[in-house]
Amino acid sequence: MDSLHLQFESSGITITSLLPKNYLDKRNLPNKKQLDLSKTKRSLLDLVPEQVQIYLGKMIDTLLALNYSSSTLRTYCGAFVQFLRYFEYRNPEDINREEIIRFLGSLMERGLSATSGHSMVNGVQFYYQQVLGKTDYSFVLPRPKKEKKLPAVLTMEECLQIFKVVDNPKHKLLLLIGYGAGLRVSEIVSLKWSDILFDEHKIHVKNAKGKKDRMVMLPYSIVTSLQLYRELYNGKHYVFEGQFAGEPYSTGSVQQVMRNALKLSGLEKKATVHTLRHSFATHLLENGTDIRYIQQFLGHSSIKTTTIYTHLTKTAVDKIQSPLDRMVEIKGKKKLED
């Protein structure tokens, strides 16, 4: 408002504000999370007819009340919308267990992946247990067995090849920090300058997947570049800002940076920003890092998730020595000493 007054003061035009007091105060403005959740809620409700929105609306409100992320909101509600469509928008309370199992079976018969199958089970089960409050309802759904697929991994030479073709300082740094600290793409764009602990050479990853915080290393090799980048771009809040000041870079833009770099590098492998995270873990393991530390760096709740990298590294396996060979070596040394 002050800017408008200054703009029209010389013209003798008087501006009267009818806005409530402190309406434009920054503290009253909606934050990115609020806008994202509101947009997600509206787009989900638009997927079903108006008379059915009461069912989906209750599902959304329950997820929001339990502080689930917008990603989980889309996954669970997307599955529930598919469920409602299959039963031609009948009241879910009128659908029995046998009908639901037939529905899930038909999806698997059509070639639904195990991941999508699990999401469907989680979405449907969430509605009956959390929304309808049937906590004692014996509602056990068949869980499709998950395929054990190994993630794609780049060698250190291939990672270097990708980084070398990126000229834009901002683009190069976001890929370097993604690989060097093993971050998810959502963690890269959410990174704030206050999270970079330069003196300790650590990065505080806040509110990551599963609402968990963790500490990861800040690679020594990018500290100077990161400080110069901060001076160049004059960033105050997010490390990687988007098109508008004060807003984070989008995950889609980061993925596009990776796609462009991969194309310029000439590599024929399929890789995404998440491939850099897989490569980070594999290279640590190859270097002899204890898998429990890798679990902490990646933010995995279970060590079982981290052990997949033991199947990806040949170098580490080659270093493992049979206890028999070790015994023979020790015995041989003793003979020489005698």
Known catalytic residues?
184, 209, 274, 277, 300, 309
Q: Between helices 169-180 and 251-265, what is the axis angle to 10°? A: 90
Nearest Cα to Cα of residue 312 among 279, 289, 271, 269: 279
State how far the alpha carbon of 34 is from the alpha carbons of 241, 246, 313, in Å: 19, 15, 42
Structure tokens at 312: 């990806």
DSSP H or E segment with residue 42: helix 32-45
DSSP H or E segment with residue 20: none
Query: Under DSSP, is residue 104 helix (H, G, I), strand (E, B) or coil?
Result: helix
State how far the alpha carbon of 180 is from the alpha carbons of 77, 177, 203, 311, in Å: 35, 5, 11, 21
Q: Quick check: 62 and 130 in contact, CB under 8 A?
A: yes
Q: Quick check: 152 and 278 in contact, CB under 8 A?
A: yes
What is the C-alpha to C-alpha distance for residues 54 and 261, in angstroms, rounded to an integer? 46
In whole angstroms, what separates CA 268 from the centre of its chain?
Answer: 25
Structure tokens at 191: 């990174």
Q: Quick check: 281 and 306 in contact, CB under 8 A?
A: yes
Strand partners, 216: 203
Structure tokens at 107: 């999806």
DSSP H or E segment with residue 216: strand 214-217
